[in-house]
């Protein structure tokens, strides 16, 4: 299906989406903070990488207590980042480069200075009194239930004006909207319409499974220690002590997502949701993306885990996904603005980073790349006095927060802030290990990781079966993860996710090696010897 300007309505299926954290991409005005005009100036880099779309983290008007994920005006640009005209110029330039534009919508909560909340908290009878999740205290004055905040402590904050508690799944300054109220739903759908009319091609939906809370506010059950998982919150956070059965993942979300899909449909726009759940992330992702009537894609945290993705974990992930919903559509990511960069998190060598990149480009699903990932940036070490993230400040030093993955992009190696800004000081420091990994330095080195990313993205585009074809026969044999992609051609893929050599047996038939510039080894009938961190990419012919 094509729209009136020839856009493929399924452009998102198998797309490579490049995430931009706007505070840290490019500063155009010398204030030490990245902005929209800076992004526009650097779009050629993303187009040259071979990405299909960009996702821009929030740039809306905000008090910035959670750096834009606390919105005070959904339909305007914070002056820190520029203006609506700057955004329009960004969209125009992106589209000229054949890049789709997706923006981050935070629909589960607002800032506590949002006009909606300012009215809601005045009293219990105003027009927006029921726009947020309010509840009376227990008879002893304590919160209405045992729900915990992702950022630590109770998920309830007392408000003296209403003499009630309000729900906040994150900071106390981020009150949760009450999506059980149809007026709230319609207001949020209007936000999506506003940006679609400005030319955006879709949305990344923050905390998509937090939209609804249990209307009866039932207590969450405890979670035994052996079942606790630190993929959503650090292990030092008591949030991991509960099974969040009632504070998120509610069935009412499905009908709202159908309404959201109806808003997207006339624009042929797409949405990718963030599913934050340590126990059922894949199953929820399958539920939200199956059937063709909810969001197109979600990314779970299976590949954002602290533990390195092994062959066994990869096979288990696809087993679970197939069992939950064969037609579900994942969007895979190794890194983003909330997690330790995967180079550091998984302790990857250059050779390991390359094979994981190639694997990502061969998986069924869409892909998110995080800015600087193409440079192999490690997690930055940030001194406590330089921390900006309230999450890190709260749990320091056992958990250092998210600043280490949010430091400025490094464009060149021969200037104080590596081409990010002309200011004397950026909002976060540029650390020494990043300096030699700059774009300019890697452009000049044919063996640099940046060129491997370009080749990997070009390989995916040259073989559409990798983006949109079926995937069968996945298995883990030792540390080798292998599978077959089917479509207009048949491609066998095998990846040795260890430093030790391994043997791979190709399926029956005649196979021709492809992707040799990505490290793919030559193939012969029968067994193939794979070096450590090696791969086989072969086309049936």
pLDDT tens digits, 258-268: 999 999 999 99
CA distance 50 to 69: 28
Q: Cα dist. 228→207, 225, 498 in Å?
A: 20, 5, 27
Please choose, from the candidates 479, 495, 475, the residue with its C-alpha nearest in 3D space to the C-alpha of residue 538: 495
Asked if pLDDT for residue 3 goes beyond 70, the answer is no
CA distance 449 to 374: 7
CA distance 336 to 250: 25
Residues in the chain: 541
- In order, the DSSP letters of 6-34 are --BTTTTTT-EEEEE-GGGT--SSSSSS-
Asked if pLDDT for residue 63 goes beyond 70, the answer is yes
Determine contact, residues 405/335, Cβ cutoff 8 Å: yes
Q: Which residues neighbour 272 within 8 Å (Cβ) at sequence distance 6 or greater? A: 12, 17, 55, 102, 202, 203, 204, 205, 295, 296, 297, 298, 299, 331, 366, 368
Asked if pLDDT for residue 5 goes beyond 60, the answer is no
Query: How do the residues of the chain divide into helix, strand and coil, expressed in percent and rounded to 5?
Result: 30, 20, 50
Give, as one character, the DSSP assignment of residue 342. Answer: H
* Phi-psi map region of 214: left, alpha, beta (phi>0 left; psi -120 to 50 alpha): beta
Determine contact, residues 398/236, Cβ cutoff 8 Å: yes
Give, as one character, the DSSP assignment of residue 11. Answer: T
Average pLDDT of 361-371?
Answer: 98
Is 374 one of the catalytic residues? no
Catalytic residue among 78, 104, 206, 277: 206
Half-sphere exposure of 300 (CA within 13 A, CB side): 22
Determine contact, residues 433/380, Cβ cutoff 8 Å: yes
CA distance 357 to 417: 27
Give, as one character, the DSSP assignment of residue 535. Answer: E
Determine contact, residues 355/348, Cβ cutoff 8 Å: no
Question: Tokens representing 116?
Answer: 């909606």
pLDDT tens digits, 383-412: 999 999 998 999 899 889 999 999 999 999
Give, as one character, the DSSP assignment of residue 69. Answer: S
Output the pLDDT for position 293: 96
Output the pLDDT for position 7: 67
Mean pLDDT of the chain: 95
* Most confident segment among 81-85, 391-395, 506-510: 81-85
Half-sphere exposure of 132 (CA within 13 A, CB side): 34
pLDDT tens digits, 471-489: 999 999 999 999 999 999 9
Tell how far CA 487 is from the center of its chain.
28
Asked if pLDDT for residue 198 goes beyond 90, the answer is yes
CA distance 470 to 459: 17
Burial of residue 383 (number of CB atoms within 10 Å: 0-12, 13-18, 19+): exposed
Determine contact, residues 101/200, Cβ cutoff 8 Å: yes
Catalytic residue among 35, 104, 176, 274: 274
Asked if pLDDT for residue 279 goes beyond 90, the answer is no
Detail the DSSP E strand segments found in 187-301: 202-205, 270-274, 297-299
Domains for the chain: give ranges and CATH numbers: 16-108+179-213+248-459 (3.20.20.80), 463-540 (2.60.40.1180)
Place of tokens 């319609």: 186
CA distance 404 to 382: 6
Asked if pLDDT for residue 11 goes beyond 60, the answer is yes
pLDDT tens digits, 218-251: 999 999 988 888 777 788 889 999 999 999 999 9
Q: How does strand 480-486 pair with strand 490-496?
A: antiparallel
């Amino acid at each position: 299906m094509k729209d009136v300007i020839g856009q493929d309505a399924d452009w998102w299926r198998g797309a490579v989406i490049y995430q931009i954290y706007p505070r840290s991409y490019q500063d155009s005005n010398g204030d030490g903070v990245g902005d929209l005009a800076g992004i526009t100036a650097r779009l050629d880099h993303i187009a040259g990488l071979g990405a299909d779309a960009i996702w821009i983290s929030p740039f809306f008007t905000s008090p910035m207590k959670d750096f834009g994920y606390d919105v005070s005006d959904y339909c305007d640009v914070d002056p820190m980042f520029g203006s609506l005209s700057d955004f329009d110029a960004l969209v125009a330039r992106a589209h000229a480069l054949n890049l789709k534009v997706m923006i981050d919508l935070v629909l589960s909560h607002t800032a506590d200075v949002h006009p909606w909340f300012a009215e809601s908290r005045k009293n219990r009878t105003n027009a927006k009194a029921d726009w947020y999740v309010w509840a009376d205290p227990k008879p002893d004055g304590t919160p209405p239930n045992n729900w915990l905040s992702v950022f630590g402590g109770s998920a309830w904050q007392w408000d003296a004006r209403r003499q009630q508690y309000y729900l906040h799944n994150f900071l106390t300054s981020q009150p949760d909207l009450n999506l059980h109220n149809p007026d709230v739903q319609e207001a949020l759908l209007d936000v999506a319409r506003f940006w679609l009319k400005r030319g955006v091609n879709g949305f990344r939906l923050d905390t998509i499974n937090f939209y609804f809370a249990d209307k009866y506010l039932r207590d969450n059950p405890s979670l035994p220690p052996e079942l606790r998982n630190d993929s959503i919150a650090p292990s030092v956070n008591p949030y991991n002590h509960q099974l969040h059965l009632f504070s998120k993942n509610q069935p009412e979300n499905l009908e709202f997502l159908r309404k959201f899909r109806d808003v997207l449909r006339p624009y042929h726009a797409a949405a990718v949701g963030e599913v934050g759940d340590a126990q059922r992330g894949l199953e929820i992702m399958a539920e939200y993306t199956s059937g063709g009537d909810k969001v197109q894609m979600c990314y779970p945290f299976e590949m954002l885990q602290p533990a390195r993705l092994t062959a066994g974990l990869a096979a288990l992930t696809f087993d679970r996904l197939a069992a939950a919903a064969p037609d579900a559509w994942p969007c895979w990511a190794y890194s983003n603005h909330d997690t330790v960069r995967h180079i550091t998190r998984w302790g990857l060598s250059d050779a390991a980073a390359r094979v994981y990149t190639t694997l990502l480009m061969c998986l069924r699903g869409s892909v998110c790349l995080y800015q600087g990932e193409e440079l192999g940036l490690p997690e930055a070490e940030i001194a406590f006095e330089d921390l900006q993230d309230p999450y890190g400040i709260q749990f320091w030093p056992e958990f250092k927060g998210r600043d280490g993955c949010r430091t400025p992009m490094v464009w060149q190696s021969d200037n104080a802030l590596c081409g990010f800004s002309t200011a004397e000081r950026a909002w976060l420091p540029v650390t020494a290990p990043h300096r030699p990994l700059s774009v300019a330095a890697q452009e000049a080195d044919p063996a640099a990781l940046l060129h491997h990313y370009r080749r990997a993205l070009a390989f995916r585009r040259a073989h559409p079966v990798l983006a949109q074809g079926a995937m069968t026969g996945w298995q883990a044999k030792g540390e080798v993860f292998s599978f077959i992609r089917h479509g207009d051609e048949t491609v066998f893929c095998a990846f040795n996710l260890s430093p030790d050599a391994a043997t791979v047996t190709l399926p029956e038939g005649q196979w021709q090696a492809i992707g040799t510039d990505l490290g793919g080894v030559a193939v012969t009938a029968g067994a193939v010897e794979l070096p450590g961190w090696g791969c086989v990419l072969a086309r049936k012919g």
